[in-house]
Amino acid sequence: MTLSKVSLVVASLLVFAACTSQEPTVAPESSAEKPAAEKATVYKIGAIQSLSGDAAGYGDPQAKAMQIAVDEVNAAGGVDGVMLELVAEDSKCDPKTGVTALQKLISVDNVQVVIGGTCSGESLAMAPIANQNKVVLFSASATSPDLTEQGGEFFFRNAPSDTKAGSALAARATAMGLKRMALISENTPFAQGIRNVFKTTYTAGEIVADEVYNTGDADFRSQLTRIKDLAPDGLIVNPQTGASGGLIAKQARELGITVQKFTNETMGGDEGVKSGGLEAMNGIIFHQEVLDDSNVRTKAFVDAYTAKYGERPQYDMYAAGAYDAVKLVVNGIKANGYTGEGIRKYLNEAGTYEGALSTYSFDSFGDSTTDIAPRMIDETGKNVPYQG
């Protein structure tokens, strides 16, 4: 190998290393200061959603809903004459990818507000960077209880913290008289959040199994065989995505586990039923925010989405939340100008907001008052209210 070849290889390795380096570098301070440039021609709204990978089922409808909101604002003349522009990035439900996307949006696009991330894991990773740069990070679907504290003052969300979903599961199991609960959770911040809340709030009996599996696992038979052996009277399937949760429900059913099953909101879409099958999914109970279609704002959003994309959004509550997020941010820009600080101030002081998701306000931690309701999958695979 000649010297020039060696140096070429070394150089390319260095370039590669530079490209893949994940150091959470802080964007230059200047970018945070200059934003509300005197003569803005366009207000950029950053968008970081899980657009590919297992969680694309949540992120894709969110991105579409945000585009609808942006189009509506622009059609009505923009924000005091300035048009909105959505700058979308894909986080793949992966913290590292999310951080890279956020750094790009802050340092290259100079955004003052980012709507995202879709998953709790990426949101937890991005929140410190958003806070350092005084950029508002607004998630419509990250529900981990950890975000309440760790989100910092620039993190907001209109999805409810899983403190609600986890303790609702515990209350449900208690009310049904279940004494031996088995729990199988994915190793992601979202699922672990629910797991931890359930473990601390369920006191009516024993948690006989508390299994954790890694994202990407496809064979759950060993754990389920062991769980069956422990004769639980309730099973909580707690995945990050409906696809893996459905698989667990299916394999549990095949192994003859017939006890009452519970899950989280990720199983409310089509994916859970598709991968689990009707038989395994029928009667599974979970909690989520529910859109009220009799509400005019909700109906207008759902109709606009259906008209544009030909179907009701999957995980409609996340999509409606993302739509609301854009509208709230626009209100913030109108009130205090296009700065992260101004938008943060507006959201903190906004009071009650009547949106497409529901009517809610933000507490001092940036958590919303959005509530959840019990749901179940019926024998036809539909997500219906649970009457219990």
Partner 1 sequence: MIHNLPQLIVNGLIAASITLLISLGLTMIFGVLGFINFAHAELAMVGAYLFFLIYGVAKIPLVVGLLLAALGVGLLNLIIERFTFRPVRKSTPLVPLIISVGVSFALSSIVQLIFGANAKTVHAETLSRQYSVFGAIITETQLAIIAITIVLVVGLFLFLKYTALGKAMRAVADNAEVAEIVGIDVNRTIAWLFFIGGALAGIAGALVSFERNMYPSMGLPLNIAAFAAVIVGGVGSVPGAVIGSLLNNFAETIIIGINLPVSWCALFSGSPPVTCAVSAGYKSAIAFVIVVLMLLIRPRGILGRSAEEETRS
Query: CA 296 to CA 351: how far, in whole Å?
Result: 20
Least distance (Å) between residue 317 CB and partner 1: 19
Q: Provide, for the chain, the percentages of residues in helix, strand and coil under a 3-state DSSP scheme, each rounded to the nearest 5.
A: 45, 20, 35
Q: Please, what is the minimum distance in Å from the beta carbon of residue 279 to partner 1? A: 8
Q: Are 360 and 327 in contact (CB under 8 A)?
A: no
| 28: DSSP letter | P
Q: Do 34 and 106 meet the contact criterion of CB atoms below 8 Å apart?
A: no
Q: Which two three-digit tokens encode residue 291?
A: 């859109």
Q: Give me 326's structure tokens.
A: 């854009």
| Least CB distance to partner 1 at residue 8 (A) | 16
Are the beta carbons of 374 and 385 closer than 8 angstroms?
A: yes
| Nearer residue to partner 1 within complex by CB, 271 or 316 | 271
Pairwise CA distance, residues 268 & 87, whole Å: 29
Nearer to partner 1, 73 or 224 (CB): 224
3-state secondary structure of 111: coil
Minimum Å gap between C-beta 360 and partner 1 is 30
CB closer to partner 1, 249 vs 328 = 249
Q: Find the length of the chain.
A: 388
Shortest distance, position 175 Cβ to partner 1, whole Å: 22
Which residues fall within 8 angstroms of residue 2, CB to CB, at 6 or more apart? none
**Closest CB to partner 1 among 206 and 354?**
206
What is the closest distance, in whole angstroms, from the C-beta atom of residue 251 to partner 1 in the complex? 9
Please identify, using beta-carbon distances, which residue of 68 and 209 lies nearer to partner 1.
209
Smaller CB distance to partner 1: residue 150 or 225?
225
**Nearer CB in complex with partner 1: 1/37:** 1
Q: How far is the CB of 164 from partner 1 (least distance, A)?
A: 26
Helices assigned H by DSSP within 52-94: 56-75
Q: Where along the sequence are the contacts to partner 1 (CB under 8 A)?
A: 52-54, 56-57, 187, 206-209, 211-214, 216-223, 225-226, 228-230, 241, 243-244, 246-247, 254-256, 271, 274-275, 277
Is residue 134 left, alpha or beta, with left meaning phi > 0 and alpha meaning psi from -120 to 50? left
